[in-house]
Each structure stands twice: as C-alpha cells, then as structure tokens.
Amino acid sequence: MQTNFSLAQLADPGVAEAEKILRSCVHCGFCTATCPTYVTLGNELDSPRGRIYLMKDMLENDRPADEDTVKHIDRCLSCLSCMTTCPSGVHYMHLVDHARVHIEETYKRPFINRMTRNMLTRILPYRDRFAFATRLSVLGKPFASLFDKVTPLKPIAAMLRLAPSKIYGKTEFTSPGSFKPEKQTQGRVTILTGCAQPALDAGINKATIELLNRVGVEVVLPEGEGCCGALVHHMGKEHQALESAKNNVRIWHEEIEKNGLDAIIVTTSGCGTTIKDYGFMLRNDAEWAERAAKVSSLAMDISEYLVLKELPAPNDTGEMVIAYHAACSLQHGQQVKSPPKDLLKAAGFKVKEAPESHLCCGSAGTYNIMQPEIAGQLRERKVKNIESTKPQAIAAGNIGCLTQIGSGTDIPTVHTIKLLNWAYGGEKPEELSNIL
C-alpha cells in the first residue's frame, strides 16, 4: 500500500522496517477471516487489516499513541494467524512489535492498567517471584468475583482464577548442570529452562531432559540463563526485552564457543518465537547482532529437534485418543505444524485435530489476564471445538495454552513432550492418572 514517510522518519531503522512491511500489504483483507478477534467482535478495527491501517496512520504522522489506537492494538493477541494467511508476506509481527514500543513510549495508560502491567512485568519473568505470587494468590481466589465487578480490576480477577493450586519450586531440572546420556552422546543441546513454566509444571523440563538423554543427547543447563523476554517484548517494553535477550545470547553464545551446542531447545513455544527473533531484535546493535543471529539460528522447538532424531520403538500406551492443540506461537509464529502431530502418531497415539485449529485459545502470554472477556470467549470456542473430537486428553506445546484450555474443560491437558517421554520409556504423566 501507499506510504507517506519523510526521509527523516525513515532514518530510524525501526520506522524504515515498518515502512517496508506496510509497502508489502495490498489490503486484500484475507487476514480478517482468520483473526480470532475479528471473528469474535466483527469490527475491522479489531482485525489485522484494520490494525495495520491504525498503525500506519499513527507512525506516518509521528503521532503519540491515542486511547482508540491503543485499545485495538491491545486487543491483538499476537497469535500471528494473519501471517499464516497473508499471501503478500506482510510481517505483521515486526510491525505490531514496533507499534507497541511506540505506544509504550508515547502513551500514558490509565493508572490501574499501568499498575497491572507493571506488576506482571515484575513478577512473571522471574521464577521465584512468580512462584511466591502464585502461592499468595491462592488466598485471594475466593475474592475473584469481587474484582470482576469493577471493570479496570477485571485483570486481577482473571489472574486469581488462573493461578494454579499447585506450584513447583526449584528442581534439579532447572538448576545449572549437565545431563549426560548413559550411552554414547549423539548431540549436545541446551534447553530454555523457563520462568513461569517450571513453576506451573516441573514435569515438562524433566520429561524433555529424560527423553533427550534416552535418545543419546546431552543436555546442558548453563548458569545465568533467564526469561526469554517475550512477555515484556509484547508489552512494548523494549529496553527490558533487549536486556533479557542479551543476557541469554551471552550465556548461550559462551556455551556455543566453549563446548558447542547443536541446538537451543525450547519447550514453551511462545518463548521459541521470541528466541528465534533475537537476531532481528538485535540486528542494529553491532556488539550483539552476530551472536544473536547465531543463537536464533540454533533455536528449535523440541518437536522440530526430535523429529530429526531416530527414536526407538514406542511402548504400548493403549492407543490413547489425543486432541493436538496447535499453539499459535508454534503453528503461526514458528510455522511448525506437522512435527508434533507426526511425533505423537509415531509414538502410538491416536491424534485428532479440532475444527478451527488456526484460532487462538485466548491465552497469548498475559492476554487472558489483560483482556479476560475476549480471552474467555475464545477459550469457550476452543474448548467446544476440541471436545467435539471426543479426546481422552489434550496435548499442546505451550504451557500458556495448557493452563488456559485446562481452565475450561475437565479433559486433562498435557504437554506433548510428556506424552512422548511416556511412550518412549518415561513415566506416565500424572495428568493422565485417571485414564487407564
């Protein structure tokens, strides 16, 4: 589409990139059809095409973000379904990331909204703080419906409702060290141990390490790795996001240089999308660009890595019927579509795919906290679609989806890797203990 930026504006590399992206959009409208918020709200302003137009107008006129634009950008899940649909190759993710930084820099949010966002950015990325806050929130759970009565406080209610009753502390699978396979090593990887994930489900890292060891892959957890930065990145807090990125790039790159890594394995696909984007995020920083690009090039979802490995014959898991839920960050953000399903099938599970599998479940990082009403509608739609396949359990490769979907159904939700580890000799996931 036509753009109208001055040369001075285009001197800013962020604006130049945004302009390039806008130029590739032909306004065909295909993206509207697969956007979860457009199919829910039916307003072009809550569709990718509408948001692209809003962002274009804001950026071209170098205007501070306004309440209306922010409302519609905030409603975007960043599920990136639009990028899968777009025939023109519009890089919506980089555009909306840029717009969110602009919003953060130029818009003063209402007090409670600002406080809630700040609270989330100070707690969620830190494993210990997250575990502590979650334990505390159990006390607040009974009061959730009170917070629901005041619109700006709805996120607090959503947060309390999402807080799990069980929280995991430190385990050997999150502490620095090396896990060597019994037999000869066929590869050496690190895994992102994560911030919120191990507190919500310590079994994911455990299953990942066990299975990788079993297929002859050494797993090393270097000291100092932290949150990937996705959470603050999606809030437009660029400085904080880049600090997180640099920290991990430094730690992992040192490990690559020192002992070599075949891959940086990610088991939370939301994080995977961001780590794969480190190279882009730090592209203009001469000190970091090369190392970040190297790290991004090694980042792989666990399913992408495993599908390349030779796996032994699976144990009999009773042909359990599994609905595979494709996390948006995996299917759209990373375009990893078939590996998780192929792995589950090869492991002996009966894999079902629900209708409308391209639509987000509403989890989307902190979306189900900040936009509880839309998230709730999307969860309901997702659960209905999944339940129509009559599965015994629901598998996904992202802890956010597992929590979100799990809060809306009685069918157990379980990380794909835990099913695979079970099929290849590990213990049966505790979530499935009631299924024979």
Partner 1 sequence: MTATEMTSETSSGIQMPKPDQAILARREEIVSALKAIVPGEGVVDNETEMRPFETDGFLAYRFMPLAVVLPETTEQIAQVLKYLAQEGVPVIPRGAGTSLSGGAIPQEDAVIVGLSRMIKILDTNYENRTLTVQAGATNLSISDAVASDGFFYAPDPSSQLACSIGGNIGMNSGGAHCLKYGVTTNNLLGVKMVLIDGTVVEIGGEHLDAPGLDLLGIICGSEGQLGIVTEATVRLIAKPAGARPVMFGFDTSEDAGACVADIIGTGIVPVAIEFMDKPAIDICEAFAKAGYPMDVNALLIVEVEGSDEEMDDMLARIVTIAKRHKVKVVKESQSATEAALIWKGRKSAFGATGRIADYICMDGTVPLGQLPHVLNETARIVESYGLRVANVFHAGDGNMHPLILYNINDPIEAQKAEDCGMDLLKLCVDAGGCLTGEHGVGIEKRDLMLYQYTQEDLDQQMAVRAAFDPEWILNPSKVFPFEARGNERPATGNA
Where on the chain is the footprint of partner 1 (CB under 8 A)?
A: 1-4, 23-34, 38-39, 41-45, 49-50, 53-54, 57, 66, 68-69, 72, 85-90
Q: Looking at beta carbons only, is 16 or 26 nearer to partner 1? A: 26
- Asked whether 339 and 86 are in contact (CB, 8 A), the reply is no
CB of 344 to partner 1, least distance (A): 19
Q: Which is closer to partner 1, CB of 31 or CB of 378? A: 31
**Shortest separation between residue 108's beta carbon and partner 1, angstroms:** 17
Pick 66 or 172: Cβ nearer partner 1:
66
User: Residue 25 or 263: which CB sits closer to partner 1?
Assistant: 25
- Closest contact distance (angstroms) between CB of 103 and partner 1 is 13
Q: Which is nearer to partner 1, 85 or 398 (CB)?
A: 85
Q: Which is nearer to partner 1, 28 or 146 (CB)?
A: 28
Quote the least distance from Cβ 69 to partner 1, whole Å: 6
Closest distance to partner 1 from the beta carbon of 154 (Å): 17
When the beta carbons of 4 and 175 are compared against partner 1, the nearer one is 4
Give the nearest distance from C-beta 42 to partner 1 in angstroms. Answer: 4
CB of 345 to partner 1, least distance (A): 16
